[in-house]
Structure 1
């Protein structure tokens, strides 16, 4: 008998009370820069990390579309949380998209049991473009991992860390999975960006970390994939969540406010048609952002269902989804940033109070929009439209050789 997957209503009923609890202290955590360990624990205990694990393996069996709709709701509660879990959900999707079926079950069962996976991919400095200084070296019958990473989003909260490393003899970097508390691992809370302050996106060091063969995954990185769209869509779902939070916070501020300007247009701010217009514009941005996320998620979901049926995925469909993600990024990033600024048109100086932390919406949206810079996504889309150029699936940062 086939397993029964949950409806969105069932998933929302399960998780919305937790999202609401997380939202209560979101501004306070931001103001105090209090890392979100409690919020991550609430999600872990409720099985949120196992959303995409099949029911047969102990997970919830959610679809791709359901995952991203829930991430949008979570982003409205606290935009740090989807980004903290970005590497985790990306790892799960990578198991389906790029890892041999025989190697998946062990990791999926760990996820079903509550394990959270973090990220250690990017390195600071002017290292060679496309190369990792972090290395996996032979050590007796096993391996040894050495190196240093930055932008290690989610690693502070993780049980396991997925590390990109070079290994002699491999054409592409390998994916090394190490327990976060293994000897030789140092996780440092030194992320100092002005937004997404609680994501743990700082330094992780690896010194002579013992690794067994089964902890190493390798796969080609020169063929079309869903993974770039998937990782980008987590950021876009988070931006859509921020847009919803802007709408929510604007309406709440206006409802409670009695002070008006003598040259205003209403007896109270809530009755002022100009204020109503601003809130309506904010709601429009939230709607468009969520709709764009849903359109990309639908494409990813179609591909996922083809894979589940054992059918080949056409390259044209992969190209389409990658381009959808790029268009969505170009289309909504500036709109959400503009909404985060327009928010302050609803009130006077009291909207600037630090304990409200309404500024966090702009800072967090600006930080998210700076990942995988939008200007290059726009160029890629334009190049495809004009010249028919295929999208770029794998890219890296570093210094080009002279």
Structure 2
């Protein structure tokens, strides 16, 4: 039986482990955290991500965990509503917010009964094992044949897969380069009590006022608003001392400003998200493959990370299952790794370009006071055309750029 070690039990790692063990391939899934309840985990499943889960046979799993479909997208500049777009925007299903911890727990519970599945939690991967007497090769000609855990255990593998995120230890230990794109923004992520309007009508609302911008929506967790406050390079806000209720209120319409002030004691301390965007020129070396954010960390714009990672999983399974089930040679396994990258890379490149375009549109508006004033004054005249242009721009970020179908 082929042996695969997957490092990182996020959506990509857990879903791929399940696909492989269902097909008789032994998998050891290693996760450094002791539980999945981090303060922030991406929740947005676009139609492309929902389709990926459906193809994996996981729609019923999704139905059994906390989730909330989005009802609409709304954009406000100053105190003026530019436009509102109702979901599902021509898609077969609406963008849906899903709580990641129960999703990951459900995926692993699905995998647990299969022979050959092992879940190692709360232990870090310390290093990779190389075929050249366990030492990292000077010329890169030898193969990775397993992992070393921090507790001293070594796990042999026909293939090691890194799904361990933007700070991937597998990427670092394998010596795979990440080429980062320049970023001049950061994001502070808040949670607070939900306003009844968001409970009844779950709108993803983006607000730009002056040189401040943020998005707010009701997450999958009952009674909780999520708020993403954008930090620009010139932002001088002291985030440790700021009165956030007043900061939010100053940039909000009256009804929302009142809610922020009334709910000030429910605003949880912010988490600063590291915005890292880039791609690895190579996602693989002999015996190792990177997927998801480990290979191509995404911007938070339109929640692409989880959706693209799930699509990575489908393509990886299509290539890996036949060679691993057949007990193929290391050379054939490594050949499959290059095929996976070749199929997935065009969509990743295009998605990052589209994310950059979306962010650039907002930044131009933020920096141009005259443009903001004109848009607010002329919004009633151009609302319909603005809405149509925006909807057209979203198609590939919602549906995916390429066709991805599970065939194994």
Q: Using CA pairs below 8 Å that are at least 6 residues apart, which structure has the higher relative contact order? A: 2
TM-score (norm 1): 0.30
TM-score between the two structures when normalised by the length of structure 2: 0.29
Higher helix content, 1 or 2: 1
